[in-house]
Structure formats: structure tokens, C-alpha cells
Structure 1
Amino acid sequence: MVGPTTSLTPLSRADGSASYQCPATGANILGSVNAPIELPGRRDALKPEDATVEVFIKPGTAPGGVGERYVEGIIKSMLGRLVLGREKSYARRGIVVTLAIVGGESKPRGDSYLTVLPALLQTSLLALLSASVPLSMTFSATVLGVNTLGEIIREPAPTDAAAATSLHVLAFSSKGHLLLNESRGSFDFDTWERIRQRALTICHGTLSGSPDGDVAMVEDVDGQPLEGVVRETVEDKYHQDYAWKIDAA
């Protein structure tokens, strides 16, 4: 399966930015982060000893609606648990995350927001890393659908998502903890448990032990784990920015 295409700092005037394109769902997201900044007109929302996270979703050329506000709340709540907002210079300041849907058929409106939610989450994480915002951990997210035959579909296309009996978005921390579980449709606990196991494998891969006792993350049947995609994106940017220093050493 073709993995997502990612990049860091595609925007030059933001403190941090990232792009994320998922060929399967058709989601194409461009995100930016500005932090730490003053939040004009929002003094009532500022925290005395912590940073305030704000998330804005721009659905292409269309105006935002109830679906966007709902997804903004999900992402804001999740990022608020990961951002180390009490670090120096972040108290009483704002961290503004802007996510623009620049392509694809999926839009976070009504019942269709689940298909694009993982791409929005991944873009926000990469943009925060690009802006050097301190985080307690990273995460990876995926969407799975269950068809009428009970088969699990990874990152279903909009047509498959519309025909699915249930859709599930799960996000796991870099430590393997379940951070987010958003589901829609009809399903039982056994189905959800199969979904959780499959999502964990997609996000973290499978573990392979070596004779010397080392444990490494390897590719599974779906290809490279999403956690590895995030790591490689950051490593590639690091090597690109510091190639001159690495070569000199």
C-alpha cells in the first residue's frame, strides 16, 4: 500500500509548517503553527501558568461549519494533553494551529469528517515539531472501516467509507497508549478489538527480536508503520538542514 507523502516547513512565514497527503483517502492537508504568540482579544481564555492551544480548520474554498468546529475541538483536546505548555516563555501565550484542506474529496462535514481526521492530526503533529513546540510524546493516527462482510479496510476511500457499516479513527502515542477513539456506525466489542489491534499494527508495526536481545520495529503487511513515517520525515529534514555540518564532521 502506498504510504502518505509528508514534508516539513513548506511555508516560509510561519513558525512551523507541514504538508500531509494520503493517497488512499485523498486527503491533502497543509498546516501551520505560530507559537508562542499573543492572543489578541482572548485574555479571558488565557491560562496563568500554561499555554493556550487554538485550532482552526479551513475546508478549502468553502466556509467552515459545525463539522469543522467539532473536529477542531477533538484536535484541540488531544494536542492540549501533549503540549508542554508550562515551558519557559509559553505561559499566558498562545499556540495557534491552522489546518487547510487543499485537495481531496473528503471534508470534515457531517459524517465524512472521520476519513480526513487522521491526516489533520498527523499534519498538526508535524507542524508542531517543525515549530519546535515542546511535546511530552508524539503520536500516529489511522482510520479503518468495516464493510458489510466484516472485513477491515485501511484508510477507506470516500466511496468505501460511505458504504461501510462502521468507521473508526484511533490514535496511539509513541509509548503505545490509546489517545483517541472516534467511531461511527454499528459494531460490537469483538469488532472494535480487531480494529484496535489492526490500528496498533498500522501505527507502530510489529516487534522483531534479535539474538542479542534488541527489539526493533519492522514493517507489517500494510507497509511502513506510520510512526516510522513521522520519524523519517523529521530525520530527512534534519539531514537536509545540517548536511553541511554532517559532511564537515
Structure 2
Amino acid sequence: MVGPTASLSILSRADGSASLKCPTTGYNVLGSVNAPIELPARRDALKPEEATVEVFVKPGNTTAGVGERYVEGILRSVLQKVILGRERGFPRRGVVITLAIIGGDAVERGDSYLNILPTLLQVSLLALLSAAVPMSMTFSTALLGVTKSGDIICNPSAAEAKAASSLHVLAFSSKGHLLLDESQGRFEFEQWESVRERAFSICRGMATPGADGDVTMGDGGDEARINGFICETVEDHLHRDYSWKIDSA
């Protein structure tokens, strides 16, 4: 199965930028980061001791609405946990992240944003890395669906997501902490626990203890590569930027 493809620093007028295309869902997202910058004169919104994180989601073929505002709040809550907004030069200033959905099926009014949420999170992280914004950790995300028969599928397509009894998006930090859990549909706690263990093994690519103390090994194949996708993307970008120095060494 073909994995996602990403590029860094593709916009010349942003401090950092990234694009990511997920072949399973078909979504192509372009993200930009400007930081630290002076925010508009809303002094009541500024934080005196740390940076203010602003996130904007732009759908490709329509104006932003309630769904975009909702997912912007989710993204902001996650990114505020990893951005070191108290570093020198960041207090009382802003970190502005703009995400444009430029490909894939449109998210219709009233549709769930869970299908595209992992892509939005990963593009945000890559753009922040491109902009050299200080962060305490990185993270990885997984989209899982539970079928009506109880099977767990990774990265369900649009058709599979609509047919699933529940959808789950989980994000784990590079330290192994659960940063995000967004779920929709009908499911039991035992099913959610199985989803969490599967997501942990996909995101981290390592063993995870079960509820009974047994250890469940990480998934192999394409799913296990998600753990190193962010690192590989950044390493490839650095190699291209410094290839002249490497060749001359």
C-alpha cells in the first residue's frame, strides 16, 4: 500500500510550510506557519507570558463554517501543548497556522472532520518544524474505524468511514502520552481500549501493554512506518538542503 507523501518549505513567503497527500483518504493539505508575528490590535487576546496560537482551516471549494471552527479548536488545543510559547521572542506575539484543503473529496456541511483531522495535524507539525518553532515534543496520529462486525481498520476510506459503526482519531506524543482522543459513533469501552492499543502501536511502532498485562506487539508492514514518517520527511529535507556540504566533505 502506498503511504503518504510530504514536502517541506514549499512556500517562499511563509516562515514555514508543508504539504501532505494521503492516498487512502485522497486528501491533499497545504499548511503554512508564520511565527513569531505581531497579532492585530486585539490586546485582550494576547497572552502576557507566552505566544498566542491561532489556527485557520480553509476548505478548498467553499467558505469556512461551523465545522471548520470546531476542528480549529481541536487543532489549537493539541498544538498549544507542544509549542514552547514562552521561549525568547514569543511572549505577547502570535504563532499563526493556516491549513488549506486543496485536494480530495470536499467536506460537506454537517459532515465529520475526523477523516481529515490526522492529515491536518501532521501538516501542522511539519510546517512548525519547517518554521523552526520551538516545541517540547512531536506527535503522530492515527485514524481508525470499527466495522459493524467489530473489526478495526486503519485509515478507512470515505466509503469505509461512512459504513463504520465508530471512528476514532488518536494522537500520541513522542514521549508516549495520549494527546488527543476524538471519537464518534457507538462503541463499548472494550472496543475503545482495543482501538487505543492499535493506535499506539501504529503511531509509536512498538509494543504496548494490554489491560491484562500482556504485551501486544506493534503492527508490521505499512502501518508501522507511520512512526518514522515525520522523521524521514525532515531528514530528507535536511539532506537536500545540505547536500552541497555533504558532497564537499
Taking structure 2 as the reference length, the TM-score comes to: 0.92
Over 2 Å off, 4+ runs: 106-112, 221-225
Indicate how the Cα distance of structure 1 residues 223 and 145 shifts in structure 2: closer, same or farther if over 3 A, else same: closer
The 5 A counterparts of 1:98-177 are 98-107=98-107, 109-177=109-177
- Paired residue secondary structure (1:113): coil
The 5 A counterparts of 1:18-33 are 18-33=18-33
Percent identical among aligned pairs is 65
RMSD between aligned alpha carbons? Answer: 1.6
Looking at structure 2, the residues matched to 111 and 187 of structure 1 have their Cα atoms a distance apart, in angstroms, of 20
Looking at structure 2, the residues matched to 232 and 108 of structure 1 have their Cα atoms a distance apart, in angstroms, of 33
Looking at structure 2, the residues matched to 149 and 65 of structure 1 have their Cα atoms a distance apart, in angstroms, of 34
Q: Shift of the alpha carbon at 1:227? A: 2.7
Letter in 2 for 1:189: F
Looking at structure 2, the residues matched to 189 and 35 of structure 1 have their Cα atoms a distance apart, in angstroms, of 40
Is contact 1:140–1:173 with CA below 8 Å preserved after alignment? Answer: yes
Letter in 2 for 1:244: W
- Paired residue secondary structure (1:47): coil
Q: Which residue of 2 aligns with 1:52?
A: 52
Q: Which residue of 1 aligns with 2:210?
A: none
Is contact 1:108–1:117 with CA below 8 Å preserved after alignment? Answer: no
Structure 1 stretches lacking a partner, 5+ long:
208-216
Is contact 1:8–1:19 with CA below 8 Å preserved after alignment? Answer: yes
Letter in 1 for 2:63: P
Q: Which residue of 2 aligns with 1:83?
A: 83
1:40-78 deviation per Cα after TM superposition (whole angstroms, max 9, x unaligned): 132211111100000000000200010000000000011
Q: Which residue of 2 aligns with 1:214?
A: none
Is contact 1:201–1:225 with CA below 8 Å preserved after alignment? Answer: no
Is contact 1:172–1:203 with CA below 8 Å preserved after alignment? Answer: yes
Is contact 1:204–1:225 with CA below 8 Å preserved after alignment? Answer: no
Looking at structure 2, the residues matched to 4 and 139 of structure 1 have their Cα atoms a distance apart, in angstroms, of 16
Q: Which residue of 2 aligns with 1:239?
A: 239
Q: Shift of the alpha carbon at 1:248? A: 2.1
Is contact 1:170–1:180 with CA below 8 Å preserved after alignment? Answer: yes
Q: Which residue of 2 aligns with 1:65?
A: 65
Structure 2 stretches lacking a partner, 5+ long:
208-216
1:197-243 deviation per Cα after TM superposition (whole angstroms, max 9, x unaligned): 11111111136xxxxxxxxx987234443230000000001111011
Is contact 1:68–1:109 with CA below 8 Å preserved after alignment? Answer: no
1:148-181 deviation per Cα after TM superposition (whole angstroms, max 9, x unaligned): 1111111111111111100000000001111000
Letter in 2 for 1:191: Q
1:13-61 deviation per Cα after TM superposition (whole angstroms, max 9, x unaligned): 1000000111111111000000000011322111111000000000002
How many residues align? The count is 240
- 2:212 aligned with 1:228: no
Is contact 1:59–1:101 with CA below 8 Å preserved after alignment? Answer: yes
Indicate how the Cα distance of structure 1 residues 167 and 136 shifts in structure 2: closer, same or farther if over 3 A, else same: same
Indicate how the Cα distance of structure 1 residues 192 and 228 shifts in structure 2: closer, same or farther if over 3 A, else same: same
Letter in 1 for 2:2: V
The 5 A counterparts of 1:204-215 are 204-206=204-206
Letter in 2 for 1:198: R
- Paired residue secondary structure (1:134): coil
Is contact 1:67–1:108 with CA below 8 Å preserved after alignment? Answer: no
Taking structure 1 as the reference length, the TM-score comes to: 0.92
1:87-136 deviation per Cα after TM superposition (whole angstroms, max 9, x unaligned): 01111000000000001115275342000000000000000000000000
Looking at structure 2, the residues matched to 153 and 106 of structure 1 have their Cα atoms a distance apart, in angstroms, of 22
Looking at structure 2, the residues matched to 47 and 10 of structure 1 have their Cα atoms a distance apart, in angstroms, of 30
